[in-house]
Amino acid sequence: MTATPLRILLTAGVVVPAALLALATVSATPPTRAVTGDHATVHLARGDMTRVLQAAEAVTTSTPRDELVAEGRKLFRSTSMATAGESCQTCHTEGSATANLGTIPHPRADIANDFTGPRDAPALWGIAKTAPYFWNGDVLTLQEAATTAVINHFDDFVRGSCQATNGDVNGPRPAGCLEKAGRLGASIRAYLEQLDPPVSRFDQGTLTEPAQRGEALFQGKGGCISCHGGPQFTDNLIHDTGVPKTSPRDSDPGAGPPPLPAGCRVVPQPAGCSVPVTKGPFINTPQLRDLKHTAPYMHNGVFKTLHEVVAFYNKTSLLSPMNLTDAEMDDLVAYLSEL
């Protein structure tokens, strides 16, 4: 694979949404594909995204739901729409995170990605309920996220008849292209909305004894539920938990630090208004379903196993220490594996 992989909606499926600038550097970097992936905000002329979303809404309200889902499924699996013969399935097989894919490197900052460092392809389970979208959480609706994937990855919009004119990524698109993007995005959104996680022991109420003990730790001593609560196991917020870089050269800030309160954005600045020190990127909290099949973990794939994730939160994250014993860590891993 030597071209841009289709990376739809960065928001589900890794452990900790958290986000990270750099707490530490990890020597064992995750496997990466020698490709690049565009995850930045889609480039459109002023007002054009509104037109695209209006077109998508018109299609959604005028087309039978089953028809939209069927078309979206076809687009999701098609290798003729995206660049280099890839598809959404390349990174998100049937809505999961593709096994053995590894992470997608971003070796240099460019107009599409204003950072360097890897990004992990997340699972898309329950994505309709896990806004905001993408690892930096800068897209608020699933419709815009699906449309962003179309414009950033479908060949017709990247270098075909619907690419921006005059070589300007922010320039206008040919007639009919915004409506086409809305149509395709509406279909993909409909398909994504029905991607439910596979039935697990958690759903069936048949957790093993270690997993039951792990559930108690998740909700109690470990405090995991503070960010990963609710039916989707996410608070839908942006956090910095100090996730380590995979390389000293990584410059991925995620969403960046949150803005200062209005009372602090004045001159002279009142006491106590200094920008808080951060150790990692600010990352969108992912859902936790089907974790055992979505390694590697974190937004940058820095951890290969759930045990490494739990060990990080137990001792070295910004949320540490959890003071879990080795046996308790094993129980928590068992619970996460059965979600």
Q: Give the pLDDT confidence of 60-69 residue by residue, as tens digits.
A: 999 999 999 9
Residue where one domain finishes, among candidates 146, 168, 192: 192
Domain range enclosing 259: 201-337
Residues 180 and 298 both lie in one domain = no
Q: Give the pLDDT confidence of 141-171 residue by residue, as tens digits.
A: 999 999 998 988 888 888 888 888 876 666 7
Residues 121 and 210 both lie in one domain = no
Residue 40: per-residue pLDDT: 54
Tell me how far apart the alpha carbons of residues 120 and 40 are, in angstroms, rounded to a whole number.
14
For residue 74, being part of any structural domain is answered with yes
For residue 2, being part of any structural domain is answered with no
What is the pTM (predicted TM-score) of this model?
0.81
Name residues whose C-beta falls within 8 Å of residue 170's C-beta, 6 or more positions apart in sequence.
43, 44, 45, 164
Residue 76 has pLDDT above 50, yes or no: yes
The dihedral built from the CA positions of residue 188, 190, 191 and 195, taken in this order, carries a sign that is positive
Residue 286 has pLDDT above 80, yes or no: yes
For residue 4, being part of any structural domain is answered with no
Query: Could you identify the residue written with the tokens 């998740």?
Result: 218
Give me the number of domains the chain comprises: 2
Q: Give the pLDDT confidence of 109-135 residue by residue, as tens digits.
A: 655 556 777 888 889 999 999 999 999
Helix axes 209-219, 326-337, angle to 10 degrees: 100
Cβ-contact 320, 313 below 8 angstroms: yes
Q: What is the DSSP string of 158-221?
A: HTSTTSPGGG-TTS---TTHHHHHHHHHHHHHHHHTT-PPPP-HHHHT---HHHHHHHHHHHTT
Q: What is the DSSP string of 123-146?
A: P-TTGGGS-SBSTT--B--HHHHH
Residues 153 and 253 both lie in one domain = no
Residue where one domain finishes, among candidates 161, 192, 223: 192
Residue 73: per-residue pLDDT: 96
The stretches of the chain forming alpha helices (DSSP H) are 48-62, 65-77, 142-153, 155-158, 177-192, 201-204, 209-219, 306-315, 326-337
For residue 10, being part of any structural domain is answered with no
Residues 238 and 308 both lie in one domain = yes
- How open is the CA angle 258-262-263, to the nearest 5 degrees? 120
Average pLDDT along the chain: 82
CATH code of the domain covering residue 94: 1.10.760
Residues 143 and 262 both lie in one domain = no
Cβ-contact 93, 10 below 8 angstroms: no
Name residues whose C-beta falls within 8 Å of residue 157's C-beta, 6 or more positions apart in sequence.
150, 151, 163, 173, 177, 181
Residue 20: per-residue pLDDT: 27
Residues 233 and 320 both lie in one domain = yes
Residues 65 and 171 both lie in one domain = yes
Residue where one domain finishes, among candidates 143, 161, 192: 192
- Residue 3 banded pLDDT, cuts 50, 70, 90: very low
Residues 318 and 214 both lie in one domain = yes
Residues 163 and 217 both lie in one domain = no
